[in-house]
Structure 1
Amino acid sequence: MTQIEINFSAAVILGGVLLVFTLGKSPFFRIDRAGVAIIGAVAMMGLGIISFDDAVKTVDYRTIVILFSMMVLVANLKIAGFFEFIGQHVLENVHSKKLLLLVVILLSGVLSAFAINDIICLLLTPVIIFICNKGNCDPLPHLMGLALASNIGSAATFLGNPQNILIGSLSKLTFMEYFKVAIPIVCIGLLLTYLFLAMAYHKKLQGKLDHSSFQAPYVNTYLIGKTILTLFFVIGSYIAGYDIVLTTSLGAAFLLITRKVKPNKVYTSIDFNLLVIFIGLFVIVGGVKASGLLLQVQTLLPMEQMNNLGFFALVSVVLSNLVSNVPAVLLLQYYIPVDNAAQKWQALALFSTFAGNLTIFGSIANLIVVEIAKKNQIIITAKEYFRVGFPLTVILTFLCLLWLSFLAK
């Protein structure tokens, strides 16, 4: 193929992949995000845009190992009944609907900082619906709080969401280097989330919760204790400067050494689709780079403009909503300069994560909450989400821009 044909083929593949990622499925075939990631990667190799050997080299296996290992840790908490245990204690000790909203936001934000927010939403959504049903409380504002806070809380560390895990692996920044920059703005974001939702759903949040007796959930306290201690080891070792790949994989391996839990129970709780999506995207973006198409894109978004932090923030937020967070990070990584790279990596992690709250399609975590809610006859519309998510994202992005500019002085 000629260079023009290679560029055109890479553009068509990338466009098709991004279309499916935006819609969540193909408009013509029964293809989901994982399927299109596989098809796109194979097409890149099949058309000769990138060789198989070069495609293998594009995959960041550090990110894949971290993702898998964190899924093993969270799977053990799920099997042990940790999230139902939290739900039981919340229902027993929280008495007002407004306080329940605050607890949900704080719980979602804190848990999402140290475990992948998509998985936290997957596990906590049924718990919150259960609490609201038992407490005779409208679940809508609380589910909104879960989704919004999970995105904001996940921005606090390089363990909170898939794109931050990727950025942590690519940037080589330490846990504390990023955490010290992110945590003040994340705390402000969680407070703003509560205030916005409390105002938007003032009537729904009036009154007390009904406390009915219910059957206590199954809880394996030994497994909960073992898993939490392992998670502390992983985070503590990471903070101490040890390689995050080594610490997370050691933690996962340790939890698999057991006489009480069947391995298949752990494996069925792992989101292999997400791992496949990552591997496929690495190859697709590698193919785009190999084709020379990226050089054409850079003429539309020149490095001089992208060096401006405000413009970089705008592109990060818009692109993250158009093509999803992970593809956006994979494309924008090439705009990280050698000089002052730490600030740009931190900015990319924060802006691409906060962008998840702009629209209901802005992050996988949002869609997980919406889909589980729908199965329980609770409808969260795009308009309903947008009226809170849009102003929250705009204000938080602006505050984040001011904070990063201040730190750069």
Structure 2
Amino acid sequence: MDTTLLIFALVYLALALGHLPGFRVDRTGAVVAGALAMIAMGRIGDQAAWAAIDYRTIGLLFGLMVVSGAFVVSGFYAWVAARIASMPVSPPVLLAILVVTGGVLSALLTNDVVVVAMTPLLVAITLSRGLNPTPFLLGFCFACNTGSAATLIGSPQNMVAASALHLDFTGYLKVALVPALVSLPIVWAIVAYLYRHRWTWAGQGPASAGPEPSPMPLDVVETVKAALVTLAVMLAFVLTDWPHDMVALGAAAVMLVNRTVASKDVLKAVDGNLLLLLMGLFVVNAAFAATGLPQKAITGLSGMGIDLTQAPVLYGVVSVLSNIVGNNPAVMLLAPFVAQAPDAQALGAAFALGTGFSSNLIVFGSLAGIIVVEQAAARGVTITTGEFCRAGVPVALACLAMGLVWILLIS
């Protein structure tokens, strides 16, 4: 048991810090090493390790990443970014358009792929117009995080929670769509207010910092194909009881078989590190659960009045935990202990809204935040931790308060 606890603690320490202290090992490397150590040291059998991996969630996520990647290859994201950012509208209106676009796209497609594809162009185009990129990047990032909570397929943690709680697409939509939509005007209002006198560029370098990326031309045929496949996936989720992972994998197969687009180009959009991290966490958490300590801890918390099967309580706990170890690890750690609870829909909303809304609190609260800050820095635009939190903290707190009201109403 001591070895299991040590491995588990080191893995989650790496998740919290972003690396394993003293080693050049990032989050994914630490999780994979931890899973292998659990198996090698006999803390979990090889068959039990394979059984612990939820292949349905992994398959669903992989399939949707491929579909989203098809939009990248077709030039759709770049086309959207260029069209929106070049509109002859005032900065507050431009921000509103970006917030809505980020929220909607992240709800329908993998939010991290959307952020990766659009951020460089948003930086370059706002700079070329003499605008301060920071409010637009932050608004877009915040909207992607909160908007992704709207649907079961908006983010990996939503998929993990829905799988654990056996939620279908429409059932999830009923409890998550409304607060996710309400979060978008909250994001816009706070960011627009904070930057009301700072719309123009007065940053650390000239407005032409870095070469402007050349957006790939829009391939209309491939974009329409990807859109039709996405629509078919949504209809299958809503109208049939077909397994979600099989639907997503079937859609991925359709997108990969192409006479004009190389499959390797589409697969570049698949976040292999994230898939490995999730698979490793399934194994590490299963080995830890076998010790019986998590069950004892949950029982002890219940005795103290902290009942995770109560949606408001779970909402608060996952909101805090996700900013310590990350969204996906937080959901994966807690989901097994509420899987059999009666109010599955409210608990699903607690997971999705708690992780999605709290993600904007700090830079490292979400992968989207890290992507925006790093890609902006590469283009000569520095978004400090203080700058991010100055907008992110009020956005997160306002959205979390609204989400709590919603959780109390549906519980």
TM-score (norm 2): 0.92
1:206 CA displacement: 6.7
1:198–1:205 contact (8 Å) kept in structure 2:
no
Residue pairs, 1:6-405, within 5 angstroms: 6=1, 8-205=2-199, 217-241=216-240, 242-302=242-302, 304-306=305-307, 307-336=309-338, 337-405=340-408
Code of the residue aligned with 1:97 in structure 2: it is P
Query: Structure 1 135/340 Cα, relative in aligned 2: closer, same or farther at 3 Å?
Result: same
For residue 160 of structure 1, what is the amino acid of its counterpart? Answer: G
Per-residue CA deviations over 1:44-65 (Å, capped at 9, x if unaligned) read 1122111111011000001111
Aligned-residue offset at 1:264: 1.5
Cα distance in 2, alignment partners of residues 163 and 94 from structure 1:
37
Indicate the residue corresponding to 1:3 in structure 2: none
- Taking a change above 3 Å as real, the CA distance of residues 145 and 66 of structure 1, as seen in their structure-2 partners, is same
Give the deviation of 1:236 after TM superposition: 1.5
8 Å CA contact 1:109, 1:154 repeated in 2: yes
TM-aligned CA distance change 1:216 to 1:70, over 3 Å: closer
1:225 offset after TM fit, Å?
A: 0.8
Secondary structure of the equivalent of 1:247?
Answer: helix
| Matched position secondary structure for 2:290 | helix
Distance 1:34 1:395 in 2: 32
Segment drifting more, 12-21 vs 273-282: 12-21
For structure 1, the 5+ residue unaligned runs are 1-5
Residue 3 of structure 2 aligns to a residue in which SS?
helix
Name the SS for the 2:348 alignment partner. Answer: helix
Structure 1 equivalent of residue 204 of structure 2: none
1:49 and 1:291 in contact (8 A); partners too: no
> Which is worse superposed, 91-100 or 176-185?
91-100
Shift in CA distance, 309/266, structure 1 to aligned 2, threshold 3 Å = closer
8 Å CA contact 2:77–2:114 kept in 1: the answer is no
Assess, with a 3 A threshold, how the Cα gap between structure 1 residues 301 and 95 changes in structure 2: closer, same or farther.
same
Paired with 2:189 and 2:7, the residues of 1 have a C-alpha distance of 43
Cα distance 1:378–1:49, how it changes in 2: closer, same or farther (>3 A)? Answer: same
Q: Secondary structure at the match of 2:363?
A: coil
In structure 2, give the amino acid aligned to 1:302.
S
Q: Is the 8 A contact 1:11 1:293 kept in 2?
A: no
Indicate conservation of the 8 Å contact 1:309/1:401, yes or no.
no
Secondary structure, counterpart of 1:357 in structure 2: coil
Distance 1:396 1:31, change over 3 A: same
Match of residue 210 from structure 2: none
Matches of 1:205 and 1:246, distance apart in 2:
46
Q: How many residues align?
A: 398
Closer, same or farther: CA 149–406 of 1 in aligned 2, 3 Å: same
Query: What percentage of aligned pairs have identical amino acids?
Result: 31
Residues 6-43 of structure 1: CA deviation (Å, up to 9, x unaligned): 1x222221221112112222231111111111101011
TM-superposed CA distance for 1:298, in Å, is 2.0
Shift of 1:295: 2.6
| Structure 1 CA distance for aligned equivalents of residues 321 and 279 of structure 2 | 20
Alpha-carbon shift at residue 378 of structure 1 (Å): 1.4
CA distance in structure 1 between the partners assigned to 2:73 and 2:87 by the alignment: 24
For 2:11 and 2:300, locate their aligned partners in 1 and report how far apart those are by CA, in whole Å: 21
Task: Give how far 1:179 is off.
Answer: 1.1
Counterpart code for 2:236: S
Q: Aligned partners of 1:206, 1:256: CA distance in 2, in Å?
A: 43
Q: Segments of 4+ in structure 1 off by > 6 A?
A: none
Deviations 1:103-153 (A, max 9, x none): 111111000001111111111111211221222211001111121111100
Q: Distance in 1 between matches of 2:313 and 2:298?
A: 14
Kindly state the Cα deviation for residue 313 of structure 1 after the two structures are TM-superposed. Answer: 2.0
Q: CA deviation at 1:216?
A: 7.2
Looking at structure 1, the residues matched to 60 and 311 of structure 2 have their Cα atoms a distance apart, in angstroms, of 29
Q: Following the alignment from structure 1 to structure 2, what is the Cα–Cα distance between the partners of residues 321 and 352?
A: 8
Contact 1:145 1:197 in 2 (8 A): yes
> Is 140-149 or 197-206 further displaced after alignment?
197-206
Alpha-carbon spacing, 1:260–1:217, altered in 2? closer, same or farther (3 Å):
closer
Superposition CA RMSD, Å: 2.0
Aligned AA for 2:306?
Q
Displacement, 1:308? Answer: 4.0
CA distance in 1, matches of 2:16, 2:327: 11
Q: TM-score, normalised by structure 1?
A: 0.92
Distance 1:244 1:226 in 2: 20
**Partners in 1 of 2:11 and 2:387 — Cα distance?**
28
